[in-house]
Each structure stands twice: as structure tokens, then as C-alpha cells.
Amino acid sequence: MIVFSTIFWEGDYSSRDIPGGVEHSPHTNAVYLICADGTGLRRLDNLVQNAQAPCFSPDGRWVYFQSNAAGAWNIYRCRVDGGIPENLTGGRSLGKDSFGIGISPDGRRVLFVCNDGQIGRVAIMDADGSNPRIVAPGIGYHYMASFSPDGRRIVFSHTAEGYRLKVMDLRGEGIVTLTPDHPESFVGQFTPDGKTIVFFRRGGDIYSVGSDGGGLRRLTEGNQYGEFKLTANDRHGSSDPPDISPDGVRIAYCARVSGVPQVHVMSLDGSGQRRLTDLPGACGRVKWSRDGKRMAFVSFVGQYPQLHVMGADGRCPQRLTDLNGAVYFINWGPEP
């Protein structure tokens, strides 16, 4: 099963950076579920408006998402089979907005970013929203965090230090700078064995580094892709990182081919790079299925990117959606 959010707008969509945030064209969002064979499409967020960035809990019973329906960004969860969504951060706010969801491998904790209107900082809470706290309150702006496989550490981009990539434990201690000579490093992800972190830098090229800070390696040259953009006027875009296969052997990513981003795959050490798609529309948001046998991604069909699925070898790409809006964030869950 796949969960995804769709963005709807009228006219030409645009975005740009402004002091203190991002300015967007007026738009709305909605969350959907669909089976990997294209059946069973249903809207999940009918009780909470403007939901986006959904992801499954590891056991597949819950979908977490973010919404500003309550007047500020909050994190919600709801049962996959229905029920009233719970606002996990609205009554326990650490700041003005809460967004950017990461679930621990055991499903017991949630990482997110709390923003007090000036800076964002990584926070953590229990899966039901209880016990929220900022992990490292004294280190300034930091975000884009994800858990290690054992759930004991997190990797994050330290905005206050030029977006250098760092790791720390859940007490905010043991901080190690992974990229001291490489600012503008984004969206780090641990490999399943916890030994390596894969990330990308401004300009789109992909790197890996040991989780202890050793063995920094550049994996791609001239990738020229790191942001997913809805239109030519989407100046801000959204980070679109590579994705590590469940067995930790391969990396799926998007790279520009003749100006059009397409899905590629390579080994963890950067070898064996090859293109998997050859579609007329730009591709993005590639994600491995939980069993590593398939990939989901989006590709533009006319004005809007739509959800596609294909085998891990690139065979039999299939378009799953035909919506009057742009499929924007996608994540896999278990098959029913």
C-alpha cells in the first residue's frame, strides 16, 4: 500500500523564499491511500483539511501527517482503517509550528521540527504525542532529521552552521560533525546497518559518509537534481533526496538526463549507475517498497505529476493515478 499527498491549485503555481519562510500560491492538500496495483484509491483526510507529507507507522496501523487546519502546523495521526485523526502537537506545542515527521524504526517515537517563528529545532515525542521535548535546545537552527536503525541517534542538517551534517544521541549529546568541510549537506539517511549515512549537497550530487565521520565519498558527478519543483515558477521547490534500498545495497535517486530528471539506481559505493526510466515527463520522489522489489515515484503527465510504480529493475512502469492535482509526497506501507 502507498500513502501520498496531492496538492491542488488554480492558475500557475509559484513559490519563493521570503524573510522568515516561504511564500506560495494559494493551494490545498489532501492525503490518499492506494494499493500498489492501482486499486482501492481512497481519501484519508476527510476529517482534517490541508493534510500533507504522510507516512506509515512501521506496523502499518497508523498514518502520520501534518496539517495547518487548526491555524498552525501540527502533526496528526489516524488509523488506516478510519477513525478520528488525533492532533498530537496542538495541545503540547513547543513552538508556533510543528512539522517534518520521522518515525523511529520501532514505532515508539516521532521526530519533528518545532518552529517558534524565528528558528526551527528538532524535537521528539512518543508515538501518541506525549512527552515532547526539544532534543538539543542550545545549538540553534537545525532540522531534516532521521533516526538511526537502532533508534538511539539522529542525523540532521545544522542550519546554524551552514547546513553541515551532524549526528547526536537522543539526549542531544555526543554531537559529531560529519561534513566539516562540506556545508549545504541535506537529508541524511542511515543505511540499515547504521554504519553509513547517505545525503546530497546543493547542486544535487549524492555523497556517503561513515556514521562516525570517516570515509566521506562523493558518489555522483553532475547530478543537477536535488529539488522537486511543480512549475518553472516554483522557485523554492522541495528537497528530493535519494532513497536507500531496504537491504542497504542500492540507492535509488533522480538525475537530469537531457534536462529531464529520470529515476536512476546505483550501488551503495556509487558503482553501477544506470537509468531506469525514460519518460517524457520529469520524475521525482522515488521510494523503495518495503520488500525492495518495487519503486514508487512521480512523473509529470501534462500539468501534474502522477504516481507511478515499477519493478526494482525498472521494468513494467505503471501509472496509478489520474488526479486533477499534483501527487507530491509518497511513502510505502505494507500490502494488505
pLDDT in tens, 40-53: 999 886 678 889 99
- For the chain, what is the mean pLDDT? 91
pLDDT of 20 reads 65
For the record, the C-alpha cell of 250 comes out as: 542500492
C-alpha pair distances (Å), 106 with each of 152, 200, 285: 11, 26, 24
Residue 93 has pLDDT above 70, yes or no: no
Task: In whole angstroms, give the CA distance from residue 12 to residue 186.
Answer: 28
Nearest Cα residue to 211 out of 150, 144, 126, 267:
150
Given a cut of 80, whether residue 17 has pLDDT beyond it is: no
The whole-angstrom separation of Cα 75 and Cα 52 is 10
Residue 193 · residue 246 · CB < 8 Å: no
Q: How far apart are CA 277 and CA 261, in angstroms?
A: 9
* Among 329, 322, 286, CA closest to 302: 322
Task: Return the pLDDT at 91.
Answer: 77
In the prediction, which pLDDT does 331 show? Answer: 95
Mean pLDDT, residues 221-249:
89
> Residue 227 is placed in which grid cell?
529539488
| pLDDT tens figures, 122-174 | 999 999 999 999 999 999 989 889 999 999 999 999 999 999 999 999 999 99
Q: Which of 31, 129, 36, 124 lies closest to 80 in space, CA to CA? A: 31
The reported pLDDT for the residue numbered 336 is: 65
For the residues 250-273, what does the mean pLDDT come to?
94
Q: Which three cell numbers stand for residue 179?
A: 561534513
Contacts of 217 (CB under 8 A, 6+ apart): 207, 208, 209, 269, 270
Determine the pLDDT at residue 45: 66
Task: Decide: residue 229, CB within 10 A, 0-12 exposed, 13-18 middle, 19+ buried.
Answer: middle
Nearest in space to 92 (alpha carbons), one of 108, 70, 118, 63: 70
Residue type, 317: P
Asked if 269 contacts 286 with a C-beta cutoff of 8 angstroms, the reply is no
What is the C-alpha to C-alpha distance for residues 317 and 59, in angstroms, rounded to an integer? Answer: 27
Is the pLDDT score of 22 beyond 80?
Answer: no
CA–CA gap between residue 207 and residue 248 (Å, rounded): 15
Averaged pLDDT for residues 106-120 = 90
Residue located via cell numbers 500557475: 12
Q: Rounded to an integer, what distance in angstroms lies between the CA atom of residue 2 and that of residue 285?
A: 13
Task: Calculate what percentage of the chain has a pLDDT beyond 90.
Answer: 71
CB 154 within 8 A of CB 145: yes
Query: What does the pLDDT read at residue 195?
Result: 96
User: How many other C-beta atoms lie within 10 A of the C-beta of residue 301?
Assistant: 17
